[in-house]
Amino acid sequence: MSRAIPPDWMRQEERSHLGVLRFMVWISLRLGRPIGRLVLRFIALYYVVFSPKARRTGRVYLRRALGREPTWADAYRHVMHFSSTVHDRVYLLNDRFDLFDIELVGHEAVQAALARQPGALLYGAHMGSFEVLRAMAHGHAHEPVAMLMYEDNARKINAILHAINPQAHQDVIPLGHPDSMLKARDRLDAGSLVGLLADRSLAHDSTAECRFLGEPAPFPIGPWRMAAMLRRPVFFMAGLYLGGNRYRLHFEPLADFSTVERGERDAAIAQAMQAYADRLSHYCRRAPFNWFNFFDFWHRT
């Protein structure tokens, strides 16, 4: 266990601009998704050419996920996958779910857990699209979904949501407040699914090393301590982008803290964290261009 240094992803300057985003929203909603996707190809190419640090760290990840030396075409495909999921948020946040083919895998396990007790935790990663979860709640299931995120990230997300659709609403629980845990507990008690991206740490987070894509890497402990305190089942969630208009939402059980006693928590947390890293490794190899990490995740570069 270690106290995390300020992560590289926090120190890297944000390259997106709300003005560009609003321009892309205008094109996408006025001229349609095919035209918007055409413009997106040039934006992705610009990013690949003029972001050498992101390209370099992206190659470190792709080398592990692909099991070979990545090419420039691989780097472009990686960025294009990321750009495509961001672009599709324009439509998902405007409730244009009819434009997408979204398949659910493993949702029955989530429903079974909710039948045993109210509420469950969904731990995702910066992989694919978390926004397609709204489509599931809209068309395939009836469980409300709340998202736990740090306040700075919440402000950025709210600004982006307003740029995309001033009427859009995303249920966000800010982390880092004295009542954050109580708000999450209340949502769970009401039967909500509460989601969190558990693959990045902040400067003040404690981390533990887990085996990930063949080498130890730091993962934040905080999400797992929270799950243990809330005594809820935890599911891995990944909304993989499959190209075109296709997504596949995967749900897999990771751990159930509802029966874990206090003296067993540390061992249960360590086991759950490694299980999370294992499933993330699995999906990174299965869909390598879906994990949007352009930072020095292993602290090796």
Q: What is the pLDDT of residue 170?
A: 61
Which amino acid, one-letter code, is at 165? N
95 CB-side CA count, 13 A: 8
Q: What is the mean pLDDT of residues 86-96?
A: 84
Contact predicate 235/275, CB 8 Å: no
What is the Cα–Cα distance from 240 to 30, expressed in whole angstroms? 27
- Residue bearing the bigger pLDDT, 296 or 184: 184
Q: What is the pLDDT of residues 33-71, one digit of tens each?
A: 888 888 889 888 988 888 888 888 889 999 999 999 999
The distance between the two most distant Cα atoms of the chain, rounded to a whole number of Å, is: 59
**DSSP state string for 105-172:** ESHHHHHHHHHHSS-EEEEE-SBB-STHHHHHHHHT----EEEEEEHHHHHHHHHHHHHH-TT----E
Residue 297 placed within a domain:
no
What is the Cα–Cα distance from 265 to 24, expressed in whole angstroms? 47
Residue 94 placed within a domain:
yes
Residue 301 placed within a domain:
no
Contact predicate 89/97, CB 8 Å: no
Is it the case that residue 2 has pLDDT exceeding 50? no
Residue 156 placed within a domain:
yes
Q: What is the pLDDT of residues 252-291, one digit of tens each?
A: 999 999 988 888 999 999 999 999 999 999 999 999 999 9
Is it the case that residue 127 has pLDDT exceeding 60? yes
Residue 184 placed within a domain:
yes
Q: What is the pLDDT of residue 205?
A: 72
Residue 68 placed within a domain:
yes
Number of domains observed in the structure of the chain: 1
- Give the residue carrying structure tokens 């935890």: 234
Burial (CB count <10 Å: 0-12, 13-18, 19+), residue 109 = middle
Q: What is the mean pLDDT of residues 169-183?
A: 79
Q: What is the pLDDT of residue 253?
A: 96
The range of the structural domain enclosing residue 92 comes to 2-290
Highest mean pLDDT among 86-90, 142-146, 246-250: 246-250
Residue 299 placed within a domain:
no
Give percent of the chain above pLDDT 90.
Answer: 50
| Confidence band, pLDDT 50/70/90 cuts, at residue 11 | very low
Q: What is the pLDDT of residues 209-260, one digit of tens each?
A: 999 999 999 999 999 999 999 999 999 999 999 999 999 999 999 999 998 8
Residue 234 placed within a domain:
yes
pTM for the full predicted model: 0.87
What is the average pLDDT score of the chain? 84
